[in-house]
Amino acid sequence: MSYNPYTLSQVDTTRQRTIISQVYAWMTAGLLVTGAIAMFVASSEALTGLILGTPLYLVLALVEFGLVWYLSSRINKLAVSTATMLFLLYSALNGLTLSAIFLIYTSASIATTFFITAGTFAAMSVYGYVTKRDLTTIGNLCFMALIGFLLASLVNIFLRSTGLYWVLTYLGILIFVGLTAWDTQMIRRMSESASSETEGQRVAIFGALHLYLNFINLFLLLLRIFGNNDD
């Protein structure tokens, strides 16, 4: 399966709408799985003691990274059922590691941040879908900035610079806002060029993964600003 954002086949409107609906349905399913597992783990002292602050947490984080890489790079060759299972597995593992936020922030501030994230995400996703402007340049810049963001975040684990922490927070928000618009436009183009039902289902899982990652990262960065850890 090959996608060229500049050379599109004749649009099958019905298939395209179905694919786009599936993208957001799977993304929502992934978020629900993550949220449900995170809340369940946070409510269990035994599970939080087993996962958080232990070597298992690092193992889970590495497995998550591997799943994202594998799913993104092999989506064209995986069976749809396998791709779907891996996406939901990643969502579940992410719930295990994200359970920590329920121990750090109040439920009210988490809920508030979630709605802020949802509104921001929706606005940028709609923009990416309807705009006639080619966002490829913006997307490439955001991707390069993301690499710098990740490297700087890793360095700051050791530096523990408060100033750099906040610079990275606001930079990260801008990056994932831009990536949301770009990924949405890319997904729309991919849905236009999907020539079969199976190809469309692969696009749906691929797109759901990208938008899910954008939403989660945007949420975590906004939580740094709006999260309240008062008792």
pLDDT tier at 231, thresholds 50, 70, 90: low
- The structure tokens listed for 167 are 């610079």
Task: Tally Cβ neighbours within 10 Å of residue 40.
Answer: 14
The tens digit of pLDDT for each residue in 12-54 reads: 688 899 999 999 999 999 999 999 999 999 999 999 999 998 9
The tens digit of pLDDT for each residue in 143-160 reads: 999 999 999 999 999 999
Percent of the chain with pLDDT over 90: 88
pTM of the model: 0.92
**CA–CA distance, 124 with 18 (Å, rounded to integer):** 21
- The structure tokens listed for 193 are 């060029």
**CA–CA distance, 193 with 52 (Å, rounded to integer):** 43
- Contact assessment for residue 200 and residue 70, using Cβ atoms and an 8 Å cutoff: no
